[in-house]
């Protein structure tokens, strides 16, 4: 995993640094900005941030402690593709009528050229809307007026927030380039935040100074650290295929409240600290540890669930299946239970934590040692390992330990086999939370390879059709995906009907699907087929491409190079084997070339083989991807591997009549 | 515009949803099961016009969800806003055996803004509920009642809203006071409406259907709107947002809209009027004036959707658009119309159903909610011109495939007029490609490719005119042209904007390993750039007519200059197919200058064809697909 994290020292080593820029004046433009035709560092950009300044501090006016965030930006819009930049949404979080974020002042102006002179158009306050999006979210929305290609927009606002634990983060990098981005924070010495800088780019400047007695509450005063972080020439972030959350690679700065001093009584209040604190907190949390301990809820149901299970593994599987079937996932993420596991069991509905903590409790109730594992899903980003941040985690699963093996379980999806995590959980490492041990890290890896095997045995008939059997075995995520595909249909018959109709050249005569509901076994599909290939079988020459099914026709890797790792989620093994029985009068004119190519460090391989015996010709391809993640340096090798595969699968074999 | 999952239902019955509640899944008639993922057991929908400013729609439904695919039926989404208040929501979930599992009420619903991610702002809201169930089948039964202070818009009755759903019994009742005159229009309704008078002396109209089988999704089928059973309703006299009105036809509805929603919205500041006059004074031809004004509008506005107030029917003031330089389709059309008026050019505000799948307003049934978009019609003498006002790029007078070839309503001072937008024919929707490529000894390819796009294909390349050679656009080109190892060395676009616009793309390309080599022979696909994307699936039984929405013609000619001394070893490519719905011809021949010349021409002709021709269409595409995948083998001449 490539993730660049830097812990920034905050309260120590304050240096009286250079004078820094600070906010820039609002409401003025210069002709150079107006005349700019493209952004020099990235001429393909449709818009660029010319200047961006943010400022956050803790205010105590009216004896209410508030986080104040000022934001001010000036954006150059080169063409109409970037007009979306003029549509602004500011999310405002809310808990109830007392506890909510609000915008205190908001103004904006568009500078545009009309008939050779620069005009200004002010944002009309009547055209600023507040949308009551949901119970926990309002959104301020507005559109900047009078956008033209070449215009510059500028807006600023002040946001007031009661949520002190999350000191406002700052994103230096977005999908448009920035000429300069500066963030100034003023943090009272009474508040101690942990600061993290993330991404590939370094800060161009940081400056810290002390402001005397800048903060007071209840008559008590303390000093503040005033720090500014500057990044210049920040490139736009471009998303690429086969990658995890962009957030892992974007340059941004994050703050997490570590502790603060209550200035009324001088007591130091810890907010987050080390793992021991987090462990202790979670173990006793009503919505976490207490739920894990609710083994009593299962006392009654267990004997029935475990009927017929003798080994510990059988028992674990039975309980896993029971939770999978009995609580339907309501698509809420989070590490804390939503309604608690009792209610989840009663209503048959629950969040990730409801379901998986119920699983932990049920397994423990059966005497199986089980822990909970906190993790961050792929789209949520990779966990920061420098120091614990609870909000980095958004998901919880179960880890059952049987003899010397352990199994990672997620019961939210009834189609997942025992021990296979859904792909969104395969993201670096998770933190194991046990009721009686300190927490520790564990690798989150797919427990099974993705397996995909095609076996075809076909005979050319005198009518020019190929007849025979086609069998497909799938395991791991491939089986999961195929099962999902089949279950999309009302019945298996309708699935087969659709498959038959979709493969226009193939007629399915008979079919058999095995292990559709036995999730632990490979999914097997067997079809008796007739393939419409030639018009009769009496030709001097017949061209045949063995890759009737599952042919890879395009290289998935098209970029010249890439900066980020290639993440497949799981290793895979794909095999294709076809045996063709030809009428006696044919012989091979041009046999397909055999090929073999390996990735460095046993990372994977591609092998193509051909053999003939009597009138039977056998083709086989094996593609093995042995790692889940490849570094950017390995990209050219992967690209070349697929290039070879595409080439090999393109080639026909030519049969000709014996003379 | 407002649409409940099934349509809205109205009436005043605050009882348990249905008296009879045998929702046992096993009691569903067996012949309703094929292709069904859900079965509507019973639906009772009603609309009561208590007074012109008091309409109550009541909707009661019980649906049995057979499997996961039917879950969308259990997703209850109720749109509401200030004018449409929810008076009642309640419901219950039953298990496979018809046993009550759970009751729910309004407090179980989540409440959201109806923001669609498309509008900047809307004051419409949604209430949403989805039951948690762990096993199939299950039945959800619910009742929703919505009151509105109007009598202009009524929900349609649609017994079978989705493909893949069967219906046991569905009933609709319209109840109104004696002086309210209802107009209605039935589609695919097998029975007959029953009219009468109830105990309170109100007029009643009742429709009912029983046992509708599930309709399966079939490729190339007509709009589902044309297949399903629907009854639409409209008033004669009505009240809406403080305005009284009446209409019996499009002429009157168009007049009403003009008088009440449009007429007062067109005033512009004097400076703007004089600016427009100065801009166009020296131009003689009215059409040229209109073009200059249209381009002026395009250059200074952008499309932003804001839905507030009068049900999304009334445009923003033209003066607001003049000041803010943005607006939704109504606002931008109204603004353009006002600008044209400043230059004394008459134009019509036209409401239309916009979609690339063509749908006309119903010429014989006028009602308010058939449209979703607005365009502008400029009736020059013998030269009617149409303007799409929400795009900064679209050429003057060109509509594209969103509003072409359909009936629209022009709202004019003389009343509504049904007009037909221009059709782009199969011959006009052309894509013509010519490529000169050279294949090297090692199978690599270099050369030039020129393509022109016309008619509805004009917009095939939504790339920027003035922003070229960017990495992203090259990546897009690589997706358009699936040639392995394709490198685009340079490309350009030349656009001739006009009523029949043409976009010309020129590409200089290279690709290594284009041809596979083995034993001194070369193998490659002669059509690497314009293959049909797939063959429509075969159907064991076809139930609907074959419908081709929009015709087109593609002509490709690729000349490969190959190393000397090669000949075609495979069977030569020569195919020609002629069918009522389409024509195809492809050839590949070697000439004497070491050139392999590949020619392909396909023309698909829009229209409706009998359902029996579906297999022919599949066979047609099979043959096209085979020809498109034709691989040539070139071997040394002996």
Closest Cα in chain B, distance from residue A313 (Å): 25
Do strands A178-188 and A47-59 pair parallel, antiparallel, or not at all (unpaired)?
A: parallel
The pLDDT tens digits for A55-87 are 999 887 766 788 999 999 999 999 888 999 999
Q: Which CATH number fits domain B250-420: 3.10.620.30, 2.40.30.10, 3.40.50.970, 3.30.300.30?
A: 3.10.620.30
Q: Which CATH number fits domain B25-236: 1.20.1270.10, 2.60.40.3140, 3.90.1150.10, 3.40.640.10?
A: 2.60.40.3140
Size of interface A-B (CB pairs under 8 A): 140
Give me A134's structure tokens. 């949901």
Whether A143 sits inside 8 A of B120 (CB atoms) is: yes
Percent with pLDDT over 90 in chain B: 66
pLDDT confidence of residue A585:
85
Domain chopping of chain B, boundaries: 25-236, 250-420, 430-636
| Residues of chain B contacting A134 with CB distance shorter than 8 Å | 110-113
pLDDT above 60: residue A14: no
The answer on A233 and A85 residing in a single domain is yes
The pLDDT tens digits for B608-627 are 999 999 999 999 999 999 89
Distance CA B2, CA A458 (A): 57
B591 at the A interface (CB within 8 A)? no
Domain containing residue A406: CATH number: 3.10.620.30
Confidence grade of residue B466 (pLDDT, cut at 50, 70, 90): low
pLDDT confidence of residue A1:
33
3-state SS, residue A465: strand
**Among the listed residues A627, A621, A573, the one whose alpha carbon sits nearest the alpha carbon of residue A600:** A627
Looking at A390, A418, A443, the residue that finishes a domain is A443
Between the alpha carbon of residue B456 and those of residues B13, B425, B431, the distances in Å are 51, 9, 10
The answer on A288 and A167 residing in a single domain is no
Q: In sequence order, what are the residues at sequence separation of 6 or more whose Cβ sits closer than 8 angstroms to the Cβ of residue A633?
A: none
Whether B482 sits inside 8 A of A651 (CB atoms) is: no
Task: Average the pLDDT over A308-321 and give the result.
Answer: 95
Count up the domains in chain A and report the number. 3
What residues are paired with B86 via a beta bridge?
B146
Between the alpha carbon of residue B393 and those of residues A552, B151, B340, B458, the distances in Å are 38, 40, 19, 12
Residue B444 CB burial class (10 angstroms; 0-12, 13-18, ≥19): middle
The answer on A304 and A248 residing in a single domain is no
The answer on A428 and A339 residing in a single domain is yes
Residue B279 CB burial class (10 angstroms; 0-12, 13-18, ≥19): middle
pLDDT above 80: residue A551: no
Give me A303's structure tokens. 């004997």
Confidence grade of residue A388 (pLDDT, cut at 50, 70, 90): confident
pLDDT above 90: residue A387: no
Of A217-226, A473-482, B225-234, least confident by mean pLDDT is A217-226
Closest Cα in chain B, distance from residue A500 (Å): 8
| Residues of chain B contacting A590 with CB distance shorter than 8 Å | 518-519, 521
| Residues of chain A contacting B135 with CB distance shorter than 8 Å | 325
Give me A462's structure tokens. 């005198």
pLDDT above 90: residue B306: no
Of A123-132, A449-458, B100-109, B112-121, least confident by mean pLDDT is B112-121
Q: Which of residues 47-66 of B touch A (CB under 8 A)?
A: 66
| Contact criterion met (CB below 8 Å) for A119 and A73 | no
Closest Cα in chain B, distance from residue A392 (Å): 27
3-state SS, residue A521: coil
The pLDDT tens digits for B114-159 are 765 556 677 778 888 888 776 789 999 999 999 999 999 999 999 9
Task: Average the pLDDT over A332-341 and give the result.
Answer: 88
| Contact criterion met (CB below 8 Å) for B407 and B420 | yes
Q: Kindly report the CA angle at A465 between A460 and A468, in degrees rounded to 5?
A: 65
Task: Average the pLDDT over A575-602 and give the result.
Answer: 89
Q: Which of residues 458-517 of B touch A (CB under 8 A)?
A: 464, 466-467, 470-472, 475, 478, 482, 484-485, 513, 516
Of A81, A494, A554, the CB nearest to B484: A554
Whether B112 sits inside 8 A of A487 (CB atoms) is: no
pLDDT confidence of residue B163:
87
**Buried/exposed B103-141: b ≥16 CB within 10 Å, e otherwise:** ebeeebbeebbbbeeebbbbbbbbbebbbbbbebbbbbb
Distance CA B404, CA B397 (A): 12
Task: State if pTM tops 0.90.
Answer: no
Task: Average the pLDDT over A270-281 and give the result.
Answer: 84
The pLDDT tens digits for B467-506 are 544 677 887 888 889 887 889 999 888 988 888 899 999 9
The answer on A398 and A462 residing in a single domain is no
Whether B133 sits inside 8 A of A348 (CB atoms) is: yes
Q: Which residue is closest to A331 within chain B, CA to CA?
A: B132
Distance CA B80, CA B146 (A): 8
Whether B112 sits inside 8 A of A134 (CB atoms) is: yes
The answer on A384 and A489 residing in a single domain is no
Of B110, B302, B521, the CB nearest to A147: B302
What residues are paired with A211 via a beta bridge?
A224
Cβ neighbours, 10 Å, residue A300 = 8
pLDDT confidence of residue B579:
97
Mean pLDDT, chain A, as a whole number? 88
Domain containing residue A137: CATH number: 2.60.40.3140
pLDDT confidence of residue B8:
32
The answer on A339 and A218 residing in a single domain is no
Q: Which of A301-310, A332-341, A384-393 has the highest mean pLDDT?
A: A301-310
pLDDT above 50: residue B26: yes
pLDDT confidence of residue B271:
95
pLDDT confidence of residue B1:
28
pLDDT above 70: residue B371: yes
Of A133-137, A140-144, A520-524, B397-401, least confident by mean pLDDT is A133-137
Whether B466 sits inside 8 A of A500 (CB atoms) is: no
Mean pLDDT, chain B, as a whole number? 89
The answer on A592 and A489 residing in a single domain is yes
- B430-636, what's its fold? Jelly Rolls (2.60.120)
Task: Average the pLDDT over A242-262 and give the result.
Answer: 83
pLDDT confidence of residue B310:
56
The answer on A291 and A259 residing in a single domain is no
B352 vs B569 pLDDT, higher one: B352
Q: In sequence order, what are the residues at sequence separation of 6 or more whose Cβ sits closer than 8 angstroms to the Cβ of residue B259?
A: none
B285 at the A interface (CB within 8 A)? no
Residues spanned by the domain of A315: 275-443
Task: Average the pLDDT over B181-186 and give the result.
Answer: 96
Looking at A417, A443, A469, the residue that finishes a domain is A443
Closest Cα in chain B, distance from residue A326 (Å): 6
B412 at the A interface (CB within 8 A)? no
| Contact criterion met (CB below 8 Å) for B257 and B333 | no
Mutate to test the interface with A, among B71, B72, B102, B113 (most CBs of A within 10 A): B113
What residues are paired with A576 via a beta bridge?
A454, A621
Looking at A242, A270, A298, the residue that finishes a domain is A270
The answer on A490 and A370 residing in a single domain is no
Confidence grade of residue A2 (pLDDT, cut at 50, 70, 90): very low
Closest Cα in chain B, distance from residue A427 (Å): 29
pLDDT above 70: residue B7: no
Residues in chain B: 638
Q: Which residue is closest to A330 within chain B, CA to CA?
A: B132
The answer on A469 and A380 residing in a single domain is no
Q: Which residue is closest to A151 within chain B, CA to CA?
A: B300
Domain containing residue A539: CATH number: 2.60.120.1130
The answer on A435 and A473 residing in a single domain is no
| Residues of chain A contacting B109 with CB distance shorter than 8 Å | none
């Amino acid at each position: 995993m490539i993730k660049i994290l830097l812990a920034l020292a905050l309260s120590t080593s304050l240096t009286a640094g250079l004078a820094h820029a600070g906010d820039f004046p609002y409401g003025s433009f210069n002709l150079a900005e107006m005349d700019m035709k493209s952004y020099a560092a990235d001429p393909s950009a449709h818009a660029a941030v010319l200047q961006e300044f943010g400022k956050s501090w803790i205010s105590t006016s009216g004896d209410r402690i508030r986080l104040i965030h000022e934001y001010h930006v000036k954006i150059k819009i080169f063409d109409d593709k970037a007009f979306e930049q003029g549509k602004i949404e500011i999310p405002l979080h809310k808990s109830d009528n007392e506890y909510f974020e609000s915008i205190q002042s908001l103004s904006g102006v568009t500078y545009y050229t009309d008939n050779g002179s620069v005009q200004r158009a002010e944002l009309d306050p009547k055209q600023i809307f507040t949308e009551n999006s949901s119970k926990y979210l309002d959104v301020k929305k507005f559109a900047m007026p009078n956008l033209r290609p070449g215009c510059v927009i500028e807006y600023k606002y002040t946001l007031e927030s009661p949520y002190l634990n999350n000191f406002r983060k700052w994103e230096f990098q977005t999908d448009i380039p920035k000429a300069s981005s500066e963030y100034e924070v003023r943090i009272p010495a009474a508040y101690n935040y942990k600061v993290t800088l993330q991404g590939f780019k370094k800060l161009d400047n940081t400056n810290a100074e002390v402001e005397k007695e800048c903060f007071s509450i209840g008559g008590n005063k303390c000093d503040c650290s005033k720090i500014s972080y500057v990044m210049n020439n920040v490139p736009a972030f471009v998303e690429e295929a086969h990658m995890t959350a962009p957030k892992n690679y974007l340059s941004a700065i994050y703050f997490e409240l570590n502790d603060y001093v209550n200035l009324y009584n001088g007591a130091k209040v810890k907010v987050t600290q080390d793992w021991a604190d987090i462990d202790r907190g979670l173990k006793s949390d009503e919505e976490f540890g207490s739920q894990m301990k609710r083994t009593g809820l299962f006392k009654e149901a267990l004997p029935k669930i475990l009927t017929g299970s003798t080994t510990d593994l059988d028992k674990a599987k039975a309980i896993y299946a029971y939770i999978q079937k009995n609580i339907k996932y309501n698509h809420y993420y989070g590490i804390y239970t939503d309604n608690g596991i009792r209610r989840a069991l009663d209503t048959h509905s629950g969040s990730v934590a409801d379901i998986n903590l119920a699983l932990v409790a049920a397994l423990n109730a059966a005497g199986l040692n089980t822990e909970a594992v906190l993790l961050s899903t792929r789209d949520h980003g990779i966990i920061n390992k420098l120091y614990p941040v609870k909000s980095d985690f958004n998901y919880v699963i179960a880890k059952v330990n049987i003899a010397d093996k352990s199994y990672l379980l997620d019961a939210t999806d009834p189609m997942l086999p025992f021990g296979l995590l859904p792909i969104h959980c395969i993201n670096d490492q998770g933190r194991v939370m046990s009721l009686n041990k300190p927490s520790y890290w564990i690798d989150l890896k797919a427990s099974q390879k993705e397996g995909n095997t095609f076996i075809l045995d076909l005979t050319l008939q005198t009518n020019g059709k190929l007849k025979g059997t086609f069998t497909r075995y799938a395991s791991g995520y491939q089986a999961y995906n195929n099962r999902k595909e089949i279950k999309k249909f009302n019945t298996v018959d309708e699935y087969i009907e659709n498959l038959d109709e979709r493969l226009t050249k193939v007629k399915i005569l008979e079919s058999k699907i095995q292990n559709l509901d036995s999730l632990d076994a490979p999914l097997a599909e067997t079809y008796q087929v007739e393939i419409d290939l030639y018009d009769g079988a009496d030709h001097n020459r017949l061209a045949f491409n063995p890759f009737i099914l599952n042919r890879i026709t395009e290289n998935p890797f098209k970029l010249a190079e890439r900066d980020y790792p290639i993440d497949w989620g799981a290793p895979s093994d794909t095999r294709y084997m076809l045996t063709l029985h030809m009428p006696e009068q044919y012989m091979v004119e041009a046999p397909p070339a055999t090929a073999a190519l390996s990735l460095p460090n046993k990372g994977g391989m591609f092998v193509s083989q051909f053999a003939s015996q009597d009138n039977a010709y056998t083709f086989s391809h094996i593609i093995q991807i042995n790692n889940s993640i490849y570094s950017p340096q390995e990209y050219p090798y992967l690209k070349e591997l697929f290039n070879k595969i595409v080439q090999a699968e393109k080639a026909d074999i030519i049969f000709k009549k014996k003379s | 515009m407002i649409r409940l999952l099934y349509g809205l239902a109205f009436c005043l019955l605050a009882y348990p949803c249905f008296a009879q509640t045998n929702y046992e899944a096993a009691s569903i008639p067996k012949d309703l099961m094929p292709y069904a993922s859900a079965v509507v057991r019973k639906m009772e929908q009603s609309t009561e016009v208590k007074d012109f400013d008091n309409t109550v729609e009541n909707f009661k439904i019980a649906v049995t969800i057979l499997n996961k695919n039917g879950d969308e039926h259990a997703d209850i989404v109720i749109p509401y806003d200030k004018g449409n208040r929810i008076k009642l929501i309640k419901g219950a979930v039953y298990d496979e055996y018809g046993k009550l599992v759970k009751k729910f009420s309004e407090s179980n619903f989540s409440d959201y803004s109806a923001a669609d991610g498309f509008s900047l702002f809307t004051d419409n809201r949604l209430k949403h509920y989805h039951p948690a169930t762990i096993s199939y089948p299950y039945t959800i039964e619910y009742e929703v009642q919505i009151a509105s202070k109007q009598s202009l818009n009524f929900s349609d009755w649609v017994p079978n809203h989705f493909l893949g759903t069967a219906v046991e019994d569905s009933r609709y009742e319209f109840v109104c006071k004696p002086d309210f005159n209802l107009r209605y229009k039935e589609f695919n309704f097998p029975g007959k409406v029953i009219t009468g008078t109830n105990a309170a002396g109100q007029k009643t109209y009742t429709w009912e259907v029983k046992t509708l089988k599930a309709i399966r999704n079939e490729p190339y089928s007509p709009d589902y709107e044309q297949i399903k059973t629907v009854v639409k309703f409209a008033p004669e006299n009505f009240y809406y947002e403080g305005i009284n009105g009446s209409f019996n036809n499009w002429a009157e509805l168009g007049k009403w809209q003009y008088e009440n929603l449009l007429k007062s919205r067109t005033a512009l500041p004097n400076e703007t009027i004089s600016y427009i006059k100065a801009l166009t004074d020296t131009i003689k031809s009215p059409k040229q004036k209109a073009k200059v004004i249209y381009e002026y509008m395009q250059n200074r506005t952008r499309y932003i959707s804001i839905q507030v107030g009068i049900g999304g029917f009334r445009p923003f003031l033209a003066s607001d658009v003049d000041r803010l330089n943005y607006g939704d389709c109504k606002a931008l059309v109204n603004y353009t119309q006002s600008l044209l008026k400043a230059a004394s050019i008459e134009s019509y505000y036209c409401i239309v159903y916009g979609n690339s799948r063509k749908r006309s307003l119903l010429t014989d049934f006028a009602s308010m909610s058939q449209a979703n978009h607005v365009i502008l019609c400029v009736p020059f003498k013998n030269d009617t011109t149409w303007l799409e006002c929400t795009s900064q790029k679209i050429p003057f007078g060109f509509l594209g495939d969103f509003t072409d070839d359909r009936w629209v309503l022009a709202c004019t001072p003389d009343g509504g007029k049904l007009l037909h937008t221009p059709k782009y024919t199969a011959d006009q929707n052309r894509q013509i490609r010519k490529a000169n490529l050279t294949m090297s000894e090692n199978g690599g390819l270099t050369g030039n490719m020129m393509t022109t796009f016309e008619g509805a294909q004009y917009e095939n390349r939504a790339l920027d005119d003035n922003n070229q050679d960017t990495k992203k656009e090259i990546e897009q080109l690589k997706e358009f042209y699936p040639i392995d190892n394709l490198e685009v060395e340079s490309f350009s676009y030349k656009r001739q904007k006009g009523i029949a616009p043409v976009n010309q793309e020129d590409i200089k390309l290279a690709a290594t390993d284009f041809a596979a080599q083995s034993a001194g022979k070369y193998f490659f696909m002669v059509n690497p750039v314009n293959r049909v994307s797939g063959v429509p699936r075969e159907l064991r039984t076809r139930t609907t007519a074959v419908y081709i929405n929009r015709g087109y013609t593609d002509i490709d000619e690729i000349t490969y200059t190959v190393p000397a001394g090669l000949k075609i070893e495979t069977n030569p490519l020569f195919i020609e197919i002629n069918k009522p719905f389409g024509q195809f011809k492809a050839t590949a021949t070697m000439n004497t200058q070491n050139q392999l010349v590949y020619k392909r021409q396909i023309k698909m002709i829009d229209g409706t064809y009998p359902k029996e021709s579906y297999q022919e269409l599949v066979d047609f595409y099979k043959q096209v697909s085979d020809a498109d995948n034709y691989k040539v083998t070139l071997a040394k001449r002996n």
